[in-house]
């Protein structure tokens, strides 16, 4: 998949920026903006090119035949959004089980406009004591990649401001659905 993805990204005119540095075997990868199903396609292709084996959270309703097999192969973890589960503890616990684990989370939680991002990604990383990598898509520049990487300190307000600043002005596929355009 590495070579096929590399060709497809190049033919489509996209560039991959950055990556996860050597030595970081576990992290939460936050990805924004998320306004289209195409975000998944470009992001997944980039992970194949970077040879990063990633897991991602996706609503359990997507896990139906025949798509469920493909989602499992791609790294999907079904999430039941209708129930109040302790997802932060569950995902943080996965980091104790695996030697290498990269979990992608879209903090917007939806492709629709959402002015209040979910905070779970931050608390997962904090509880698991793993870094947060800021992944991005920029349709204006046709760039996809990983920028800043930091270990959360517990000062959510300050670090969330830094996260918002990182994503401000990124070109979403549907800018009207991205609150930081």
Closest by CA to 35, choosing from 139, 152, 122, 119, is 139
Query: Would the pLDDT of 83 be above 80?
Result: no
Percentage of residues in the chain having pLDDT higher than 90: 64
Tokens matching residue 25: 């075997």
pTM for the model stands at: 0.87
Work out the mean pLDDT of the chain and round it to a whole number.
90
Q: Which residues pair with 26 in a beta bridge?
A: 101
Give the pLDDT confidence of 45-81 residue by residue, as tens digits: 999 999 988 988 888 888 888 889 888 888 888 877 6
Q: Is it the case that residue 163 has pLDDT exceeding 80?
A: yes
Residue 35: pLDDT above 80?
A: yes
What are the angstrom distances between the C-alpha of 9 and each of 40, 141, 159?
13, 13, 32
The torsion defined by the Cα of 68, 2, 45 and 25, in degrees rounded to 10, comes to 80
């Amino acid at each position: 998949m590495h070579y096929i993805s590399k060709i497809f990204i190049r033919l489509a005119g996209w560039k991959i920026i950055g990556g996860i540095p050597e030595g970081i075997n576990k992290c939460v990868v936050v990805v924004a903006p998320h306004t289209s199903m195409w975000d998944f396609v470009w992001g997944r292709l980039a992970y194949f090119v970077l040879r990063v084996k990633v897991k991602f959270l996706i609503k359990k309703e997507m896990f139906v035949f025949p798509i469920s097999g493909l989602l499992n192969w791609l790294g999907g973890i079904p999430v039941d959004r209708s129930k109040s589960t302790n997802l932060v503890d569950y995902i943080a616990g996965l980091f104790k089980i695996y030697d290498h684990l990269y979990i992608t989370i879209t903090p917007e939680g939806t492709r629709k406009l959402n002015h209040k991002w979910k905070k779970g990604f931050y608390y997962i990383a904090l509880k698991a004591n793993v870094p947060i990598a800021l992944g991005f898509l920029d349709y204006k520049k046709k760039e996809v990649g990983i920028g800043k990487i930091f270990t959360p300190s517990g000062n959510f307000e300050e670090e969330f401001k830094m996260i918002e600043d990182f994503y401000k002005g990124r070109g979403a596929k549907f800018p009207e659905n991205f609150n930081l355009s």
